Structure 1
Amino acid sequence: MNDVPFGFSAGDDPDDAERRRREEEARGRSGQPQNPFGFGGFDADPNQPFDPSQLGAMLSQLGQMISGMGGAMANPGAATGDPVNYQLASQLARQTLGRHTPVSDGQRRAVGDAVHLAQLWLDEATVLPAGPQKTEAWTPVDWLEKTLPTWKRLCNPVAEKVSGMWVSGLPEEAREMAAPMMGMFSQIGSMSFGTQLGQALGHLSKEVLTSTDIGLPLGPVDALALLPEAIETFSKDLEQADQEILVFLAAREAAHQRLFSHVPWLRQRLLASVEQYAQGIHLDMSGIEELARNLDPSALADPAALERLMSEQSAALEPQATPEQKAALTRLETLLALIEGWVETVVHAALSERLPGADALRETMRRRRASGGPAEQTFATLVGLELRPRKVREAATLWQRLLDATSLEQRDGVWAHPDLIPDAHDIDSPAGFIDRIVGGSSLDDPIAELERQIQAEQAGGSAGKGDPDKGDADGPEKPGDQS
């Protein structure tokens, strides 16, 4: 079964082959297949001997789920009503994370110095001032705790939608019969979602480099954070000096935070786009009915036959892409590409002449995002869409050409209002967007420009009605004109 949102798939993707290759590599590293419900599975190869440790791991996790359900039932105050059991998710994430090294004083000082230097250089590359004044060095556990509130906002709409589809798809008689057990089903679904979330976040927390590594503002609004342990692991395969890499990543984090701190609408727009995508999830219940009709009862006694049937009919369980989903996904991908392109352009301008390895590091980050790093893969599993901005290079070219044609103030002034930013067509054909700005849409004061556009539209609408005082033929008749 695919790695999909809480056990579902978002549909066809041209990069499926590449993702399957990564999944096969993950299986080779972990020794067990990926499971969308978070359980450690059995080895699917019948030629391999049975490993009792796999059964023990699965039973251990199942015991944790049952224990969590029992605790919630015994302590009603612990139940939050969330469609995901986040208490269980946090516990499993910590177990998956395992042991980690606390941040040392030396690492904390190195992060602080790198951020300070990066901020000084960024001041010359953008008019947006520095973001949060609090610089932190996080452990993986810190990242887990400080980003979980945002993960709740991202995962709840998907879990609610998926859970609601199963209930709403049942016939009325079946809903009435199942009503007494709905509470237990909700608990089980919440724990299943929590299990998947916890395991995914446990792995992800060891690999993210900064609080904005996946392009979304996951952390608190008042902190700029890097993860030294993950950065050291990331640096081992690179030829650049560790200090250069740290400053480069600090500059990327600081540039992201400048945007999220001083563009008030941006954080809300990003998270709202994810929510809108979740709201568009639609499950074709006819596929499930067909699956039930085709189920051979004898397959229940033959695991191989059952697995083969589920593989053949898995498409029946996939939500159908809706126009609303496609529109939300386009908006999200465009906005992510614009953010990544702007950050890349600003960081390159600030560091290219100061860090010898800046060009190589920029290309490394591009490949990391384009190939779908661990952050992107985890988000695709949890929320059901891939945060892989496919046009970062084009967006970076747009921002650079806009700067060449105008100024820092005009380029960064585009972020003043969501109606002023480029759209997907502008990324593909930046010349028209730049011509609009250079040719008469001055962005020295973007809000004033927007107000002028609104006033012009209103004036144009009223002009067509004519002026009754001047006796315009298109205007309303005066009393004396009536015969």
Structure 2
Amino acid sequence: MADLPFGFSPGDDPDRDKPKKDPTSGPADPFGFGSGDFNMADLGQIFTKLGQMFSGADNPMGGRSSGPVNYDLARQLASSSIGFVAPIPAATSSAIADAVHLADTWLDGATALPAGATKAVAWTPNEWVEGTLDTWKRLCDPMAAQIGSVWASSLPEEAQAMAGPLLAMMTQMGGMAFGSQLGQALGTLSREVLTSTDIGLPLGPKGVAALLPEAIEALSEGLEQPRSEILTFLAAREAAHHRLFSHVPWLSTQLLNAVEAYAKGMKIDISGIEELAQGFNPAALADPAAMEQLLSQGMFEPKATPEQTAALERLETLLALVEGWVQTVVTAALGERIPGTAALSEMLRRRRATAGPAEQTFATLVGLELRPRKMREAAALWERLTDAVGIDARDAVWQHPDLLPNSTDLDEPAGFIDRIIGGDTSGLDIDAAIEEFQKSQDEGDDPAKPVDS
């Protein structure tokens, strides 16, 4: 693609590696500073020049971005990466609908939560991108917006009054950078995901169980189990996720709030900006290759903070609890009906352990590394809790976020199980919590609170 924004070229520019003209000589210096010493007094002129450079620049990939992420660019890059995809045959769509219906029937005996999927569909990779993009916006906007806001607060005091043009430029470039990164990730991910909830988050519309037959077919080619059993197993996982996300009203918001909390804890090390002011030749800003090198030096990278670490711990724990619960109920529902259920569950665990596209996307956009160890421990906790108190009491734990196991409980499940058996909810009024939960279902409120980490 010849029209990618500068700084994001995949390397197709034939002149990219040619020697550049010395930017410090004569008229090649558009800022007029030459190669002399640079000080803070020059920032005003630099910011003005940068503002002029970018104020009239058009985005060649879908127009200007009105938010912190250029989603038009993300959509087009994802579509370009996917390429042509044949329409899904009607017979395949029908088979997927039948598999979800059968799986929901079997799940009725494995969980107290009722069916949550009101519709079952087959998605192409492009339909997955379109069907999940609204949720990706909710995941990415807080991070991208926070990066933009910390820029202003991190500038040296004497530069803040002059920084308008630079910040506008960085906002535009940041939107392109994040959009480009997201588009490439979604294009890759759309070819790999098996269902709308494959990465543990409710990415698609509520109540719509979606499976991707192209990816399922590719997965089936390397497995010994019959395709019909693989399809039913994946349909059961999708249906189980929808039961949880549809009937635990605070859960989706809790997951997204953890991402937002991570973004709000972001800080930028201003030493990089100080280094820019002290040693950078502003003439190099006229050279796209030099700009790309500048932005890739890590000068503007956010630094991890204790607040971010705590938010990631909450998100990781909650994702592990969701995944562990789904594995437990699916195994209970299908274990005797589909002999390969245990092997298929182990295959999915290993698939995540290899840091596939889903894990890479999270690491890039959220900073989260999904650890299979946590998921295995969560599944073991739910299984032991089921044996100890039964299905109804196990699923009642989802009635309020304060009732859920925390990260310590995943390491030591015996104490959590003893508390549930003994009715000890660590100070939470269980009757009041259930009443609040039921009221929230009637009124559509959200009783979400942070999960202990």
Give the TM-score, by structure 2 length.
Answer: 0.78
Kept after mapping to 2: 8 A contact 1:441/1:449:
no
- Listed one character per residue, the Cα deviations across residues 117-152 of structure 1 (whole Å, up to 9, x for unaligned) are 111111111111111211111111111111111111
Q: How has the CA–CA distance of structure 1 residues 424 and 359 changed in structure 2, closer, same or farther, with 3 Å as cutoff?
A: same
Counterpart CA distance in 1 for 2:290 and 2:186 is: 33
Counterpart CA distance in 2 for 1:298 and 1:247 is: 61
Find the counterpart in structure 1 of residue 237 from structure 2.
Answer: 252
Corresponding residue pairs, total: 390
Equivalent residue letter for 2:189: L
- Of 187, 194, 203, the residue aligned with 1:218 is 203
Equivalent residue letter for 1:355: I
Q: Which has the larger radius of gyration?
A: 1
Counterpart CA distance in 2 for 1:128 and 1:40 is: 48
Equivalent residue letter for 1:410: A
Equivalent residue letter for 1:358: T
Find the counterpart in structure 1 of residue 49 from structure 2.
Answer: none
Aligned ranges for residues 234-273 of structure 1 at < 5 Å? 234-273=219-258
Equivalent residue letter for 2:391: L
- Listed one character per residue, the Cα deviations across residues 98-128 of structure 1 (whole Å, up to 9, x for unaligned) are 1112111111011011111111111111111
Moved more, 269-278 or 169-178: 169-178
Q: How has the CA–CA distance of structure 1 residues 423 and 433 changed in structure 2, closer, same or farther, with 3 Å as cutoff?
A: same
Counterpart CA distance in 1 for 2:174 and 2:303 is: 21
Displacement of 1:287: 3.7
- Listed one character per residue, the Cα deviations across residues 220-266 of structure 1 (whole Å, up to 9, x for unaligned) are 11311101111111211112111111111111111111000000110
Displacement of 1:268: 0.6
- Of 395, 406, 420, the residue aligned with 1:423 is 406
- Listed one character per residue, the Cα deviations across residues 378-433 of structure 1 (whole Å, up to 9, x for unaligned) are 12212332344541111111111111111110001100011111111111111111
Q: Secondary structure at the match of 1:68?
A: coil
- Of 21, 37, 41, the residue aligned with 2:11 is 41
Equivalent residue letter for 2:336: E
Find the counterpart in structure 1 of residue 111 from structure 2.
Answer: 126
Aligned ranges for residues 276-425 of structure 1 at < 5 Å? 276-290=261-275, 293=278, 314=298, 317-388=300-371, 390-425=373-408
Counterpart CA distance in 2 for 1:322 and 1:266 is: 25
Aligned ranges for residues 158-169 of structure 1 at < 5 Å? 158-169=143-154
Kept after mapping to 2: 8 A contact 1:38/1:199:
no
Find the counterpart in structure 1 of residue 101 from structure 2.
Answer: 116
- Listed one character per residue, the Cα deviations across residues 261-313 of structure 1 (whole Å, up to 9, x for unaligned) are 0001101100110111111111111144346656699999xx999999998x6
Counterpart CA distance in 2 for 1:298 and 1:206 is: 43
Kept after mapping to 2: 8 A contact 1:333/1:390:
no
Kept after mapping to 2: 8 A contact 1:334/1:389:
no
Q: How has the CA–CA distance of structure 1 residues 292 and 234 changed in structure 2, closer, same or farther, with 3 Å as cutoff?
A: farther
Q: How has the CA–CA distance of structure 1 residues 323 and 399 changed in structure 2, closer, same or farther, with 3 Å as cutoff?
A: same
Kept after mapping to 2: 8 A contact 1:101/1:229:
no
Find the counterpart in structure 2 of residue 61 from structure 1.
Answer: none
- Of 203, 206, 219, the residue aligned with 2:191 is 206
Q: Secondary structure at the match of 1:102?
A: coil
Moved more, 260-269 or 186-195: 186-195
Q: How has the CA–CA distance of structure 1 residues 343 and 294 changed in structure 2, closer, same or farther, with 3 Å as cutoff?
A: same
Q: How has the CA–CA distance of structure 1 residues 257 and 451 changed in structure 2, closer, same or farther, with 3 Å as cutoff?
A: closer
Q: How has the CA–CA distance of structure 1 residues 451 and 246 changed in structure 2, closer, same or farther, with 3 Å as cutoff?
A: closer
Question: What percent identity do the matched residue pairs reach?
Answer: 61
Displacement of 1:338: 0.7
Kept after mapping to 2: 8 A contact 1:40/1:54:
no
Kept after mapping to 2: 8 A contact 1:111/1:246:
yes
